[in-house]
Amino acid sequence: MPTVIIPTPLRDVTGDVTEIEVEARTVGEVIDRLEELYPGIGERLRVDDEIRPGLAVAIDGAMSSRGLTRKLQPESEVHFLPAIGGG
């Protein structure tokens, strides 16, 4: 099962859980499972059918631009990170 690393700003919702394994095949399914376990976390991770603005998703150390549809491997590690802009 993919492992989700919970970022510090969301740990208030998870009761300080820092990582969790969830059964999911896509990033969208990860968020669905997290919402089932920790009600309210979903709205902090997505808006409608997209990753919330200001967040980015890294899968196995690589940033993903495919959003909720990004497929995962059983051993994937998923990070939700604050998006960093440059200029």
Domain 3-82, CATH: 3.10.20.30
Residue 80, pLDDT score: 92
- Find how far residue 66's CA is from the centre of its chain: 13
Residue 87, pLDDT score: 53
Give the pairing of strands 55-59 and 19-21: unpaired
**Domain ranges, ordered by start, for the chain:** 3-82
∠45-48-49 over CA atoms, to 5°?
Answer: 85
- How do the pLDDT tens digits run along the chain, 87 residues long? 999 999 999 999 999 999 999 999 999 999 999 999 999 999 999 998 899 998 999 999 998 888 899 999 999 999 998 876 655
- Find how far residue 3's CA is from the centre of its chain: 10
